[in-house]
Amino acid sequence: MPKAAKHSTLRWRTSQPRSIASRVLVSYPNRPQSGFTLIEILVATTIIAVGCGALVASAAASTWRADYLREREFGRWVASNALTELQSVPAWPANGTTNKEVDMGNTTWYVRTRTQAVGDPDLRRVDVEVRLDKDADNYTYTVTGMVGNPAIRQGVSTDESGLQ
């Protein structure tokens, strides 16, 4: 056997008696060992587990963000629709706060409208807040707009002289 070979392999050596229980692993010097050590397998398993955990966390965050954006977009539609409705009806919205329920996207939305007078007598400020929970203090979406005097919008004179 040449002395240059430093690798050894393990072989079963049988001895008397020849039962399986009496076999012993014996090292032979000229055969290279192959395979992974237990430490290498544990390190690889740990790396895979950390990677899978990061993927699951990323997927969960992405799902939450998608739900949040969907909720905000529906809230924006509900609020914009409520403001447009107030701007298009031929009557002044009353000053104060009103609440109503709107169904959109298989969901019941709670709309709170606050109307207040401003410096111009022909305008009113309208704040529309949309919520998913009726008693919540925070809102999903809010929009603010102005509503003009319906008599002016319809072309009716509001001064006493009758001139338009």
Q: Please compute the mean of the pLDDT values over residues 139-152 and round it to a whole number.
A: 87
Domain ranges of the chain: 54-153
Q: Please compute the mean of the pLDDT values over residues 138-144 and round it to a whole number.
A: 88
- Condensed to tens digits (0 to 9), the pLDDT of residues 62-111 reads 999 999 999 999 999 999 999 999 888 888 888 999 999 999 888 899 99
- What is the pLDDT, as a whole number, of residue 27? 58
Task: Give domain 54-153's CATH number out of 3.40.50.300, 3.30.365.10, 2.60.40.1120, 3.30.1300.30.
Answer: 3.30.1300.30
pLDDT at position 2 over 60: no
Q: How far is the C-alpha of 85 from the C-alpha of 60, rounded, in Å?
A: 38
Q: How far is the C-alpha of 2 from the C-alpha of 11, rounded, in Å?
A: 19
Q: How far is the C-alpha of 15 from the C-alpha of 5, rounded, in Å?
A: 27
**What is the pTM for the complete model shown?**
0.62
Helix (H, G, I), strand (E, B) or coil at 51: helix
Residues 6+ apart with CB under 8 A from 96: 114, 115
Which tokens in the block code for residue 42? 């544990």
48 pLDDT band, cuts 50/70/90, is: very high
- DSSP H or E segment with residue 10: strand 9-13
> Mean pLDDT for the chain?
81
